[in-house]
Amino acid sequence: MFRSTIAKLRCMRCSKEAELTPTDDLEDAGMVKIGRNLYYCFTCANVTGHPKAPGAAKLPKHTG
């Protein structure tokens, strides 16, 4: 019998929980990875101004 691996992710700011299988995407779960085993939910990522937050302003690359 095949057993699927389920990972439980928790926002380090508000403790919102999401469950992911290997075929799921972080964006589908509403989470942003900010470090090794560290995650923010989309709401907390936006509140803290994290650059990987959905809708975050992209800064222009330094060319000089």
> Domain limits of the chain?
7-48
How would DSSP label each residue in 26-48? Answer: HHHHTEEEEETTEEEEHHHHHHH
Reported pTM: 0.74
pLDDT given at position 17: 96
Q: Select from 28, 27, 31 the least CA-distant residue to 45.
A: 31
What average pLDDT values come out for the chain (64 residues) when binned by 10 residues?
Answer: 83 95 89 93 92 72 60
